[in-house]
C-alpha cells in the first residue's frame, strides 16, 4: 500500500495542533459523509478521512506516523526506505551479528485488544557514519533507552501476592458505548472505558516499581553491524528491541536510521565514487603520472598527453560495494587543468614563446 499523506487528506499542516486536526476532521467528515454527499467516490473519501483521523487524532499514533509513515500501520510499504533486518529476538543481547536478510514489509500493525493488551512502540535511533566506515561495513555499539517488562512484577503491574478485580464501570469489557444524536443521524461511539483504561480490570494494589504499568525504563547497549556499501536513507531493523508490549503484547522494533556523512574527498553516486583532481597545465599538455587517493588506498593515474580539463578516468570496481554483493561500483577521477595565475618573468617569456610557436604551426 502506498504511503498515504494523512495531513493532506485532512487538509492540515504537519505541525497542526490536535485541536486543529479534530476541527479539520469534523468539517471534512461533514462534507464527505455519504448520507450528505451523493457524489460518486464520497464514501471512499469518507473512509480515507476516517483512516487519517484514526492516526492523526491519536498523538501516539501520529508520532509513529510522522516517523515511519502510513506503512507503519499496515502490512504494506515501509515508506521509501530500504530496511534490513539485523537479527531477531532481543533476548540475545550480544547476538546481533550480521544482516540476516532484507526486510521488505512494513512494521507490524499496532494492536490493542479489549483485555488491554498492547504491542510495544517501535523506536528510532539516528546514527551518522563516515563514507570510509560505510565502505568497510563498520560495527557500532549504540545505547538505547527503552521500556522493558518490570523486573519485579514481570509485566503484570500487580504487587506480589495480590490480583486485579473486574472493572465495574464496563463490567470487564474495557469499552463503553455511547449513542449520540446529530443532524446526520445517530452515531454510536465505542470508546475505551475511562475507569479501567480498556483493561477491564482494576488494579487496586499496583506494583511499586512500575506503578502498575508493568514496564520500566532500561538502558541497553546494542551492536549494530552495517553492511558494506550502506547509504543514507537505509534503516536497520533490530527485531524486538523497541518498547516492551503491555499485558503480553509483542515488543516493538528498533529502527536504526543511517546517515552517511558527505566526504571532503569523494562525491558519491550510488556505488560510484567521484573525485576532482587538479593537475597543472604542463602535466596536462605533456602527460604525467599522478597519485590519487582511493577509498581503500592509493592509485596511480596516468594522464595522457593533451588531456583536457573535465576529462574523466575510470578505475573499474574501485568504488563502494553494492549492498549485499561483492561487486563494487567504479572510482572516477575528474581532471581539472589549472591555468597558472602567478607566473615568474621567466615562465612568462617561455609561454610567450610557446604562443608564438603555436601560431606558426
Ligand atoms: Zn512492576
Ligand atoms: Zn472498565
Cell numbers that stand for 225 in this block = 553491524
pLDDT tens per residue across span 281-329: 999 999 999 999 999 999 999 999 999 999 999 999 999 999 989 999 9
pLDDT at 82 over 80: no
Checking if the pLDDT of 107 tops 50, the result is no
Distance from the alpha carbon of residue 194 to the mean position of ligand 2, in angstroms = 7
pLDDT in tens, 176-192: 888 878 777 888 888 88
pLDDT of 78 reads 34
User: Average pLDDT in the 83-107 region?
Assistant: 36
Binding residues for Zn(2+): 150, 153, 167, 170, 193, 196, 207, 210
Q: What is the pLDDT of residue 106?
A: 32
| Structure confidence by residue, pLDDT tens digits, 137-170 | 999 999 999 999 999 998 889 998 888 899 999 9
Q: How far is Cα 248 from Cα 351, in angstroms, rounded to an integer?
A: 83
Rounded distance from Cα 112 to ligand 2 centre (Å): 15
Can you point out the beta strands (E) in 133-213?
Answer: 139-149, 165-166, 175-182, 185-192, 201-202
pLDDT at 91 over 80: no
Judged against a pLDDT cut of 90, whether residue 229 lies above it is answered with yes
Smallest-distance ligand from the CA of 173: 2
**What is the 249 CA–ligand 2 centroid distance (Å)?**
19
Contact (Cβ atoms closer than 8 angstroms) between residue 205 and residue 159 = yes
- The pLDDT score that the predictor gives to residue 79 is 35
- Backbone torsions φ then ψ of 91, nearest 5 degrees: -65, -30
- Range with the lowest mean pLDDT among 57-71, 280-294, 336-350? 57-71
Q: Compute the average pLDDT of residues 68-89.
A: 46
pLDDT computed for residue 29 by the predictor: 81
**C-alpha pair distances (Å), 266 with each of 320, 325, 330:** 11, 21, 12
For residue range 238-278, what is the model confidence (pLDDT) as tens digits? 989 999 998 888 999 999 999 999 999 999 999 999 999 99
Distances (CA, A) of 16 to 12, 58, 69, 173: 6, 13, 17, 34
pLDDT at 77: 31
Q: Specify the pLDDT at position 81.
A: 42
Q: Annotated binding site, which residues?
A: 150, 153, 167, 170, 193, 196, 207, 210
Distance 117 CA to ligand 2 centre (A): 14
Of residues 237 and 274, the one with the higher pLDDT is 274
Please give the pLDDT value at position 50. Answer: 84
**Distance of alpha carbon 338 from alpha carbon 200, whole angstroms:** 78
Mean pLDDT of the chain: 83
Distance between Cα 192 and ligand 2 center (Å): 8
Ligand closest to Cα of 155 equals 1
Tell how far the Cα of 190 is from the centroid of ligand 2, in angstroms. 13
pLDDT at 114 over 90: no
* Average pLDDT estimate for 225-239: 91
Q: Residue 254 Cα, ligand 1 centroid: separation in angstroms?
A: 23
Q: How far is the CA of 199 from the centre of ligand 1 (A)?
A: 16
- Please compute the mean of the pLDDT values over residues 76-99 and round it to a whole number: 38
Confidence of residue 361 (pLDDT cuts 50, 70, 90): low
Q: Mean pLDDT over residues 349-356, rounded? A: 89
Across 333-360, average pLDDT: 88
Structural domains in the chain, sorted by start: 267-360 (2.60.260.20)
Q: Given a cut of 50, is residue 1 above it in pLDDT?
A: no
Per-residue pLDDT, 26: 85
In the chain, DSSP assigns E strands to: 82-85, 101-103, 123-129, 139-149, 165-166, 175-182, 185-192, 201-202, 215-225, 234-238, 254-260, 267-269, 272-280, 288-294, 297-303, 312-315, 331-338
Task: For 208-224, write each residue's pLDDT tens digit.
Answer: 999 988 999 999 999 99
Amino acid at each position: 500500500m502506498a504511503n498515504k499523506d494523512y495531513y493532506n487528506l485532512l487538509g492540515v499542516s504537519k505541525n497542526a495542533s490536535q485541536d486543529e486536526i479534530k476541527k479539520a476532521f469534523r468539517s471534512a467528515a461533514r462534507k464527505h459523509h455519504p448520507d450528505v454527499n451523493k457524489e460518486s467516490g464520497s464514501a471512499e473519501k469518507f473512509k480515507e478521512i476516517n483512516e487519517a483521523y484514526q492516526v492523526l487524532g491519536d498523538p501516539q499514533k501520529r508520532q509513529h506516523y510522522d516517523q515511519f509513515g502510513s506503512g507503519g500501520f499496515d502490512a504494506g510499504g515501509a515508506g521509501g526506505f530500504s530496511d534490513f533486518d539485523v537479527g531477531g529476538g532481543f533476548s540475545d543481547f550480544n547476538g546481533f551479528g550480521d544482516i540476516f536478510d532484507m526486510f521488505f514489509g512494513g512494521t507490524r500493525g499496532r494492536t490493542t485488544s479489549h483485555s488491554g493488551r498492547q504491542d510495544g512502540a517501535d523506536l528510532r535511533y539516528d546514527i551518522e557514519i563516515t563514507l570510509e566506515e560505510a565502505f568497510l561495513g563498520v560495527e557500532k555499539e549504540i545505547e538505547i533507552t527503552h521500556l522493558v517488562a518490570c523486573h519485579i512484577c514481570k509485566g503484570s503491574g500487580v504487587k506480589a501476592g495480590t490480583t486485579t478485580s473486574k472493572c465495574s464501570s464496563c463490567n470487564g469489557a474495557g469499552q463503553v458505548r455511547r449513542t449520540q444524536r446529530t443532524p446526520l443521524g445517530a452515531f454510536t461511539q465505542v470508546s475505551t472505558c475511562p475507569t479501567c483504561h480498556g483493561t477491564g480490570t482494576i488494579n487496586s494494589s499496583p506494583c511499586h516499581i512500575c506503578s502498575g504499568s508493568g514496564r520500566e525504563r532500561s538502558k541497553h547497549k546494542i551492536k549494530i553491524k552495517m553492511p558494506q556499501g550502506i547509504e543514507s536513507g537505509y534503516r536497520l531493523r533490530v527485531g524486538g528491541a523497541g518498547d516492551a508490549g503491555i499485558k503480553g503484547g509483542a515488543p516493538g522494533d528498533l529502527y536504526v536510521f543511517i546517515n552517511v556523512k558527505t566526504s571532503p574527498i569523494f562525491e558519491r553516486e550510488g556505488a560510484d565514487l567521484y573525485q576532482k583532481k587538479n593537475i597543472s597545465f604542463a602535466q596536462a599538455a605533456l602527460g604525467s603520472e599522478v597519485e590519487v587517493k582511493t577509498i581503500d588506498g592509493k592509485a596511480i593515474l596516468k594522464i595522457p598527453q593533451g588531456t583536457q580539463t573535465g576529462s574523466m578516468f575510470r578505475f573499474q570496481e574501485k568504488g563502494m560495494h553494492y549492498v549485499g554483493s561483492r561487486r563494487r561500483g567504479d572510482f572516477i577521477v575528474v581532471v581539472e587543468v589549472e591555468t597558472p595565475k602567478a607566473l615568474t618573468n621567466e615562465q612568462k617569456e617561455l609561454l610567450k614563446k610557446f604562443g608564438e610557436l603555436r601560431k606558426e604551426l
